[in-house]
Amino acid sequence: MKLHTHQTLKTESPQPGVLVVTLNRPAVRNAINTPMAAELLDIWTQLIADPQDARCVVLTGAGDNAFCSGADLKERRDMTVEAWRVQHELFERSFWSMVDVPLPVIAAVNGHAYAGGLELSLMCDFIYAVRTARFALTEVSIGIMPGAGGTQNLPRAIGERRAREIILTGTPFSAEQAYAWGLVNRICEPGQLMSAALDTAQTIARNAPLSVRQAKKSINLGMQMDLKTGLRFEVEAYNQLVGTEDRVEGVRAFNEKRRPIFRGR
């Protein structure tokens, strides 16, 4: 898909239907500054409005050391209280808009993910990480607290009690621990991370795009409902697919023993 030009992000489409978004400030461990937050918001807003030919997104960081170290504290060093709040409102919109992205977003965590970096990865649908990656929500150690979803997404991912310990101590944990706790879906060797993430993204991109989007929506919204309401919502989402051309193509291809060609219609 055609995206706006960005200074702190790199975008590419290495495979049909797959969009790779790279946090591109490696000199500062891909810390999120005001321009990066604005550019992330721009990308998510574009994908919400019109994904075009994109069917899956991989979010990663530039370099070998860090996925994202969180907010750029050098930029924040001399901020007034009002300027800090204004900036954080931008951060909030940037992070929260990810919830509404209709496409699956895979975090390919290529290095440490601290503070807002971990929160950013938690906003993704699932996470692949290199074995050397470490994770932490360190905000309480500098006089603030997680403010980009950490206190909400981490307990949902690994359970309330373990999340309490991580958030209240600010102690880092390893990729192996993250995998054992269900935070990370797959651990990869450093040279294999992107190939693994892209293989999964390509698998998703080959599936019926309307089906993938409806399934993601059903999971996201259904998890906020009681079971009976969630089951009813799932059926409503399912029924939206019955009349699509892709459903007809999928069944026809199965019976003809060939790979279906889905067009998102």
**Active-site residue set:** 119, 139
Angle at alpha carbon of residue 232, lines to 227 and 233, rounded to 5° = 95
Alpha carbon distance, N-terminus to C-terminus of the chain? 18
Phi-psi region of 71 (alpha: psi -120 to 50; beta: other; left: phi over 0): beta
What lies within 8 Å, CB to CB, of 108 at 6+ separation is 58, 59, 60, 128, 129, 193, 194, 197
CA 87 to chain centre: 21
What lies within 8 Å, CB to CB, of 12 at 6+ separation is 19, 20, 22
In the chain, helix, strand, coil percent, each to 5?
Answer: 50, 15, 30
Q: State the Cα torsion 196-184-114-99 to the nearest 10°.
A: 90
Q: How far apart are CA 235 and CA 64, in angstroms?
A: 44
Place of tokens 């470490």: 134
CA atoms within 13 A on the CB side of 9: 26
